[in-house]
Amino acid sequence: MNVLINEILRALSDVDLAFKGELTMTEQMENLMSSINTNRVPGSWSNLAFPSTRPLSSWLDNLKHRLDQLNNWKEDPVSIPKVTFLNRLFNPQSFLTAIKQVYSREKSQELNKLYIQTDVLKKMYWEADLQQPREGAYVFGFQVEGARWDQSGGLEESEPKKQFSVVPVINCRAVIVQEGKEEKGVYQCPVYKTENRGNTFVFVAQMKTKFPPAKWILAGVALILDVEGVSDAYDPKKDPPI
């Protein structure tokens, strides 16, 4: 994050000096200004940043939210946050690995025999009665693509013209792998950092469903952490997600 911020400040400072006539305008500066004018993230910034498909304005807003979370941790490092925004981390896999490491030390279990179990709550992150989990950590920032999460606690068909659906807080906890065991009524849902999917895979979440899992496999249903044009700090009561 520091490397990214330093590059942003350096690039903008150079452009400012060029406009003042103190530096010669270079091709890199012109490309930077062209990206800013067309609301695109400059390539020199995106190369150092987190995977994202957002336009520049939304990207900067998201960058601020990521910084806010890091600063909150830095200012009060001994307090465990009730909810961690997994979609605000450069490397969400590292946070999930930390959950397994804590369990591994407490229970004297081998790390490679553990996986992350996901239990979706019926609460959002801003609800006052949300308590600390007994195991693992509460995380937020998931949106399901190709289906929707129903308040009854399972995957349902998408609503008309709505590609994404917000998933409530999820309890991510470490569980010992039981070979040969197949959970019924559960869709093993892939989680990706962006809508592009590809090499942004994070892990597999367990999503309850009354439908056969094959239905969601054929529909290409997945959880996405960073969605273009959607804020990760919304309150649906005031500002329904788009």
Q: Say what the pLDDT of residue 50 is.
A: 95
Q: Determine the pLDDT at residue 180.
A: 62
Is the model's pLDDT at 227 over the cut of 70? Answer: yes
- Whether 237 shows a pLDDT value over 80: the answer reads no
pLDDT tens-place string over residues 168-201? 999 999 999 887 667 789 999 999 999 999 899 9
Give all domains of the chain, ordered by start, each with its CATH number: 2-69 (no CATH), 70-226 (3.10.490.20)
pLDDT tens-place string over residues 100-142:
999 999 999 999 999 999 999 998 988 878 888 999 999 999 9
Residue-level pLDDT at 175:
94
Average pLDDT of span 159-163: 89
Sheet holding 201-208, edge to edge: 164-166, 143-145, 222-226, 186-194, 201-208
Q: Can you give the pLDDT at residue 241?
A: 41
Report which of 206, 216, 158 is spatially closest to residue 186, judged by C-alpha positions. Answer: 206
- ∠ CA 117-142-75, nearest 5°, is 90
Name the E strands within the chain. 83-85, 114-120, 137-140, 143-145, 148-150, 154-156, 164-166, 170-176, 186-194, 201-208, 222-226
Q: What is the pLDDT of residues 8-60, one digit of tens each?
A: 999 999 999 999 989 888 999 999 999 999 999 999 999 999 999 999 999 99
